[in-house]
Amino acid sequence: MVVRHLILAGHDVHVVTGAPDFVFTTEIQSPRLFLRKLVLDCGAVQADALTVDRLASLEKYSETAVAPRASILETEVKWLNSIKADLVVSDVVAVACRAAADAGIRSVCVTNFSWDFIYAEYVMAAGYHHRSIVWQPAGWKLKEEYLPPGWLCLVCGASEQELPPNFIKLPKDVYTPDVMAASDCMLGKIGYGTVSEALAYKLPFVFVRRDYFNEEPFLRNMLEVAARILQDTANGKNYASDKLSGARRLRDAIVLGYQLQRVPGRDISIPEWYSSAENEFGRRTGSHSDDNSNSSLFENSDAVEFDILHGDVMGLPDTMSFLRSLAELDVAYDSEKFTEKHHVRERKAAAGLFNWEEDIYVARAPGRLDVIGGIADYSGSLVLQMPIREACHVAVQKIQPSKQRLWKHAQARQQAKGQGPTPVLQIVSYGSELSNRGPTFDMDISDFMDGDQPISYEKANSYFARDPSQKWAAYVAGTILVLMKELDIRFESSISMLVSSAVPEGKGVSSSASVEVASMSAIAAAHGLNISPRELALLCQKVENSVVGAPCGVMDQMASACGEANKLLAMVCQPAEVLGLVDIPSHIRIGGADYGSVRIGAFMGRKMIKSTASAMSSSYSNGNGNNLDELEEYGIELLHDEASLDYLCNLAPHRFEAIYSQNLPDTMTGEAFLTKYDHHSDPVTVIDKKRSYGVKAATRHPIYENFRVKAFKALLSSASSEEQLTALGELMYQCHYSYSACGLGSDGTDRLVQLVQEMQHSKASLSGDGTLYGAKITGGGSGGTISVIGRNCLRSSEQILQIQQRYRNATGYMPFLFEGSSPGAGKFGHLRIRRRVAPTQD
């Protein structure tokens, strides 16, 4: 199409391509068209029609484009000059754009809207072990009996193999849309072309999944919602005004294609129906819309029930849903009961994960809502956190290596080492297709050992970073290494783990902490380790800081481990001192730049404050003070304390303003700071010499935030009044704008806070109908969630729904509403379960 329009505009067009001539000449007959057969972009290497071999793709790209790059550029520049080219149009072939630049010619790229997202996988480092898990069918041929009697299959782009009589090979230049329109159904791999034609011709489409095709979830939802529209229309239904209608969901699916780019800093929100979509089985754990949530645990399951040997499900519907999914795994493993077309890889992998004759341990850990305290946790602030209803469940089985059912590539790895059964860790993570990560992870537990000692955290971080699609495993497997290093635990048995989280990722509600806490809780229970909730939270922080490499404070893990339903956990992060649980008064209802650089700025500020205090203290100690009154005014003891300040939050706001604020720069480069102060004393962040850091705002925030949280906590226990609610709301607003001053936040959260303010100050609210009093961003500052405080009444629910609607009208996206609370991991404890009758295993 691009070539045709350029020719119609009067241009000579030279096409450099490896495609057959008929691709262009069938549609364009013009003397202005010139074809030059040359391949500049090798594309992906596929082991077969469905499976991308990422390592081979990288190797081929290196051979065809990287190694000979200089000679390619020289040739292409000469050629461009020889034809006197004025413009280079490329479908994102990097060398073509570089050649155009070297030749002094303008270039543009024309491609589908999410190119960078699709190709992200191909620029990732791929380990050689991927070769052992690539499906490579050998000698597979079509057979006449593959089709029902009377059916014909028209084969497009077939190889040279001989076909059965009911399979008809079509010419390479056949116009496939006409063939599709004349067919009863289409078989093939899912892709933009096939999905578009299926939608255009209302053609049933039987497709197979494609590994590492990142936009498959989007395309599959396109087909699903289109089918729903057709079905609704046929039944005479019309849901045009319903946010979950076929038409609305189809529009959201189209918008989603643009959102898959995930450009940093852009206000992007995945539509609610997509981010919380149930998989093919319709049983994603954590869903609270299950109509049977209050019924018998296994009422709708054909699977055999478990005996609960220890613990209590506490009536939690998500826990009951998780146990139901466990009970049904043997159905997925039985190929006669569970047909191939319903498989998802993660469920199939999980089906063979456990030995049903052995005990299984289940732990649960919720996400958390940061009511107030926020990013000041690493500076020692008082924080108030509430565990949310959404949680992560982890099932763990400790098993003898000889009894563990290993995946084929894990078996091959052990055989290659020439050893018998050894302890292996196998993990399955549900929800992988919505997050574009690998659904499974496995390793020899001995990989965590270097001789007779556990490997360093630095080596572990590098180990998990080798393959970005498997980096998620650091949050789960990292708990094992931390237990080995910090508690001197050794694991002699194999471990099988199933992880299922309903805590939304990237929304500022601590999805990572819930995974860590649930994983370590389940592993500890399976191995008989008695770890207090507080100690477990600190160990999980070590996982995130040292194994994952994320510079978080401890409040997320503490809230997930130590919280209780419908209460605020009050704690001082020095490092993790729980002050108690704060009841939420019955009339009150709460719902719901990069973090690392702000943390560095705060530690820079602490270093400067300590240096200033030390200099002033030394000056007075050496007799350089003017008089005793000045000594008393500044307080020599205070200066001594501030010279050894462990946490910024221990500095009173008035001391900060009176003595230190004016000496702090607004910003400072890493190089300038390191030259003067040598280091910033933060073990989990590294200063970039070339980067400029905000210092004053990042230092001021935790100092004032600690004061705001103390005031908030005191107000919660005061008498109920309009003034109480107004003051609580004002503290939340101040917190939000203090975040913004640090350079954190997002357009979406700022807009939501603004909508709360507009609702609060509307005429209706001022006349006595107001129920909302304040709002703030929650979490590390870059998530997409705000917490709102208001009266616990029906009117506040109505106003929140109005804000949802206004946000959707302004942006096109419907915010997700977090409501409710649930117990932390410590309160839940763990379940020990076992099948009453073990299913038959092959």
Contact between 585 and 720 (Cβ < 8 Å): yes
629 catalytic residue (yes or no): no
Could you report the per-residue pLDDT of 746-790, keeping only the tens digit for each? 777 888 889 999 988 887 777 776 788 998 887 654 456 888 888
pLDDT band at 172 (very low <50, low <70, confident <90, very high): confident
Percent of the chain having pLDDT more than 90? 26
Q: Which residue has the tokens 């690539």?
A: 134
Looking at residue 659, its amino acid is I
* pLDDT of 408 strictly over 60: yes
* pLDDT of 266 strictly over 70: no
* pLDDT of 391 strictly over 90: yes
Could you report the per-residue pLDDT of 636-648, keeping only the tens digit for each? 888 888 888 888 8
Give CA angle at 353 (351, 357), nearest 5°.
Answer: 100
For residue 270, the 8-state DSSP code is: -
* Closest to 429 in 3D by CA, of 331, 503, 355: 503
Could you report the per-residue pLDDT of 224-251, keeping only the tens digit for each? 666 666 666 666 665 444 444 545 555 5
Q: Among 206-210, 364-368, 509-513, whose mean pLDDT is lowest?
A: 206-210
Distances (CA, A) of 42 to 66, 191, 363: 11, 19, 47
Higher-pLDDT residue of 586 and 306 is: 306
Higher-pLDDT residue of 356 and 291 is: 356
Contact between 205 and 223 (Cβ < 8 Å): yes
Find the DSSP H helices in 166-292: 176-181, 192-200, 216-234, 246-259, 272-275
* pLDDT of 50 strictly over 70: no
For residue 153, with 0-12 CB atoms within 10 Å meaning exposed, 13-18 middle and 19 or more buried, which class applies? middle
pLDDT of residue 747: 74
Q: Return the structure tokens found at 806.
A: 């206004």
pLDDT of residue 325: 86
* pLDDT of 31 strictly over 70: yes
For residue 794, with 0-12 CB atoms within 10 Å meaning exposed, 13-18 middle and 19 or more buried, which class applies? exposed
Q: CA 269 to CA 507: how far, in whole Å?
A: 10
For residue 299, the 8-state DSSP code is: T
* pLDDT of 433 strictly over 70: no
pLDDT of residue 129: 35
For residue 446, the 8-state DSSP code is: G
Mean pLDDT of 425-439: 77
For 558-614, give the secondary structure using H, E and C. HHHHHCCCCEEEEEECCCCEEEEEEECCCCEEEECCCHHHHHHHHHHHHHHHHHHHH
Output the average pLDDT for the chain: 77
* pLDDT of 138 strictly over 70: no
Q: Return the structure tokens found at 596.
A: 């690392």
Higher-pLDDT residue of 302 and 205 is: 205
Q: Return the structure tokens found at 704.
A: 């004032």
* Closest to 621 in 3D by CA, of 592, 589, 643: 643
Name the active-site residue from 211, 318, 370, 556.
Answer: 556
Residue 701's contacts (CB-CB under 8 Å, 6 or more residues apart) are: 374, 375, 376, 598, 602, 738, 739, 741, 742
Residue 662's contacts (CB-CB under 8 Å, 6 or more residues apart) are: none
Mean pLDDT of 795-812: 82
* pLDDT of 608 strictly over 80: yes
Distances (CA, A) of 650 to 539, 646, 681, 735: 24, 8, 17, 18
pLDDT of residue 375: 67
How remote is the C-alpha of 282 from its chain's centroid? 21
Phi-psi region of 143 (alpha: psi -120 to 50; beta: other; left: phi over 0): beta
Higher-pLDDT residue of 45 and 95 is: 95
pLDDT of residue 689: 85
Phi-psi region of 115 (alpha: psi -120 to 50; beta: other; left: phi over 0): alpha
pLDDT band at 453 (very low <50, low <70, confident <90, very high): very high
Higher-pLDDT residue of 113 and 702 is: 702
Higher-pLDDT residue of 136 and 530 is: 530
pLDDT of residue 541: 92
Q: Return the structure tokens found at 402.
A: 């000889």
Percent of the chain having pLDDT more than 70? 74
pLDDT of residue 235: 65
Higher-pLDDT residue of 782 and 700 is: 700
Domains of the chain plus CATH, in order, are 39-133 (no CATH), 144-275 (3.40.50), 306-591+825-833 (3.30.230.10), 595-664+678-690 (no CATH), 704-811 (3.30.70.890)
Residues in the chain: 842
* pLDDT of 493 strictly over 90: yes
pLDDT band at 51 (very low <50, low <70, confident <90, very high): low
pLDDT of residue 335: 44
Mean pLDDT of 348-353: 84
pLDDT of residue 258: 40
pLDDT band at 351 (very low <50, low <70, confident <90, very high): confident
* pLDDT of 118 strictly over 50: no
pLDDT of residue 233: 63
Q: Among 501-515, 582-596, 750-764, whose mean pLDDT is lowest?
A: 582-596
Q: Return the structure tokens found at 175.
A: 């116009």
Q: Buried b vs exposed e over 46-80: b needs ≥16 C-beta within 10 Å? A: beeebbbbbbbbbeebeebbeeeeeebbeebbebb
Higher-pLDDT residue of 62 and 119 is: 62
Could you report the per-residue pLDDT of 715-733, keeping only the tens digit for each? 988 888 888 989 999 999 9
Could you report the per-residue pLDDT of 523-557, keeping only the tens digit for each? 999 999 999 999 999 999 999 999 998 877 788 89
In angstroms, what is the C-alpha Rg of the chain?
Answer: 30
pLDDT band at 518 (very low <50, low <70, confident <90, very high): very high
Residue 653's contacts (CB-CB under 8 Å, 6 or more residues apart) are: 703, 704, 707
pLDDT of residue 114: 45
Give CA angle at 411 (408, 416), nearest 5°.
Answer: 125
Q: Return the structure tokens found at 530.
A: 């008695």
Could you report the per-residue pLDDT of 649-676, keeping only the tens digit for each? 889 999 999 899 998 999 999 999 999 9
Contact between 642 and 606 (Cβ < 8 Å): no
* pLDDT of 173 strictly over 90: no
* pLDDT of 275 strictly over 80: no
Q: CA 518 to CA 533: how far, in whole Å?
A: 11
How remote is the C-alpha of 433 from its chain's centroid? 11
pLDDT of residue 828: 92
Name the helix (H) or strand (E) containing 169: strand 167-169
747-760 and 722-741 helices cross at what angle (nearest 10)?
160
Residue 797's contacts (CB-CB under 8 Å, 6 or more residues apart) are: none
Sign of CA dihedral 797, 798, 799, 804: positive
Residue 385: HSE in the Cβ half-sphere, 13 Å Cα cutoff = 38
Range of 564-573, 596-605, 751-760 with top mean pLDDT: 751-760
Could you report the per-residue pLDDT of 246-256, keeping only the tens digit for each? 455 555 544 44
Mean pLDDT of 366-391: 80
pLDDT of residue 227: 67
